[in-house]
Amino acid sequence: MNFLQFTDFRNKSKEYFDKVEHGSSFVIIRKGKPVAKLIPFNENETGPGWKRENKKVVLKSGKPTLDYILEERSDK
């Protein structure tokens, strides 16, 4: 993994994104401290929060939430 100064990244970001698309990885350094990793995106890898399944809300009445919302809207 290569180290990269933040100002270089800011000034030449297109060039670095092109390198990342071809498999390179970088650690971005700001004021002498690492602040971020720039790595290629792996489409087969799913991280937390990326297209995760959501739990469906179940109302006490047993009706689907959409029916409840439509009822509420039609009453007004």
Q: What is the pLDDT of residues 56-76, one digit of tens each?
A: 777 777 877 888 888 888 876
**In the prediction, which pLDDT does 58 show?**
72
Judge whether 46 and 27 are in contact, CB under 8 Å. no
Q: Which pTM value belongs to this model?
A: 0.55
For the chain, give the longest Cα–Cα distance: 62
Q: Write down all domains in the chain, each with its CATH number in brackets.
A: 1-41 (3.40.1620.10)
* Cβ atoms of 36 and 28 closer than 8 Å: yes
Angstrom distances, CA of residue 17 to CA of 13, 33, 52, 68: 6, 21, 27, 47
Instruction: Kindly give the parts of the chain with pLDDT less than 50.
Output: none
Average pLDDT score, the chain: 85
